[in-house]
Amino acid sequence: MSVQPPNAERQIWIFTHMLRVREFEERVKRTFTEHPGVIRGHTHLADGAEASIVGALSHFRGGDAALATYRCHGYPLVLGSDPKAMMAEIYGRADGLCKGLGGSMHLTDVKRGFLGTSGIVGAGIPHAAGAAWAAQIRHKGEIVFCFFGDGASKQGAFHETLNIASLWKLPVIFVMENNGYNVVTTTAQEDANAANGEPLALKAKAYAMPGVTVDGADPLAVHATVGAAVERARAGDGPTLVESKVYRLSAHGNIIAPPGVPLHYPEHEAITVFGKREEYEAALRGDPVPRFRAALVKSGVLSGAKAGELAAQVAKEMDAAVSFAVKSPFPKLESALENVYA
């Protein structure tokens, strides 16, 4: 089996969604300075991971499910969630995707197959396996996408779940977005494989499932690699661990300054903690969004003018999300006591 590369139209679809994720996150980031105090708590951005997110979810079909972590803004955008409702959720408003009860770390859109996001590192991995059990016994070839970071692969939940998923041949794709950092700890400081120069995908070997490493900044490479895992899962042959190497272009999260207002995003930890400005600047030069745009223009899939039009369109869409969310009212107080129990 080999995965068909996406045609020109699909490549433009991938690029458009990468842009949408980037522009959405840019506006979340800007909110801290343009509308201080509007976003509370801790917020985690997906900038830098767009190619990985969209490349993987380009295989998503109706009936599939996806689950992710607190760094969860990218996936629902690709699955069709309304950026207005997403931004309103991040602003804690009544029109939010989750009625203002979840916020940035817990975006959920069940109608679009985005089942839930745990804010506890690694905890969502078994949830994806459970959803995959449900898919397995529906016998419709439906699968589950499970997104998490490199840090989660040090949690027991990861190891316990990969063992069971492989044992039961569950239709799930474990997409580990390895961004090289667990907050301010480098992968080599906390991972025995990384410290010994091995890929993190090697962990799959312990659970008798395929483990592959892919350049997560290249959406076509991600499409091909995840595509093979998707075919395997839909065929009933079980899970795959995909290590997608990405570089997050923002810090782990916004500055938290209790009891005041979170004001802004600091520079990346490579600079602020490790003093490795060149590492970060190299990552910026490899930024997946302009990189894919250049590739599409070079291959003739997209003209420069068309790319500009798309960018303007997406910017307008995301500006509208901010205006909508800022104007949305706060939820009624009594709604805090609704939805505690089903």
Q: According to CB under 8 A, which one of 6, 83, 102, 171 is a site residue for another protein?
A: 102
Query: Residue 58 or 161: which CB sits closer to another protein?
Result: 161
Pairing of strands 114-117, 172-178: unpaired
Residue at token pair 């070839």: 141
Does position 131 interact with another protein (CB under 8 A)? The reply is yes
Does position 135 interact with another protein (CB under 8 A)? The reply is yes
Q: Which of residues 152-181 bind another protein (CB under 8 A)?
A: 156-157, 160-161, 163-164, 167-168
Does position 274 interact with another protein (CB under 8 A)? The reply is no
The candidate with the shortest Cα–Cα distance to 212, out of 220, 204, 166, is 204
Residue at token pair 């069971």: 164
Cα gap 140→242, rounded to integer Å: 23
Closest distance between another protein and the C-beta of residue 158, in Å? 9
Does position 82 interact with another protein (CB under 8 A)? The reply is no
Closest distance between another protein and the C-beta of residue 230, in Å? 18
Does position 101 interact with another protein (CB under 8 A)? The reply is yes
Does position 125 interact with another protein (CB under 8 A)? The reply is yes
Distance spanning both ends of the chain, measured CA to CA: 44
In 3-state terms, what secondary structure has residue 33? helix
**Cα separations (Å) of 94 from 37, 102, 250, 262, 332?**
17, 11, 28, 21, 8
Cα gap 147→133, rounded to integer Å: 17
Cα gap 233→227, rounded to integer Å: 10
Q: According to CB under 8 A, which one of 97, 194, 222, 230 is a site residue for another protein?
A: 97
Closest distance between another protein and the C-beta of residue 71, in Å? 16
Residue 197 contacts residue 191 (beta carbons within 8 Å): no
Does position 134 interact with another protein (CB under 8 A)? The reply is yes
Q: Binding residues for another protein, per CB under 8 A? A: 65, 67, 96-102, 106, 108-111, 115-116, 118, 120, 123-137, 156-157, 160-161, 163-164, 167-168, 338-342
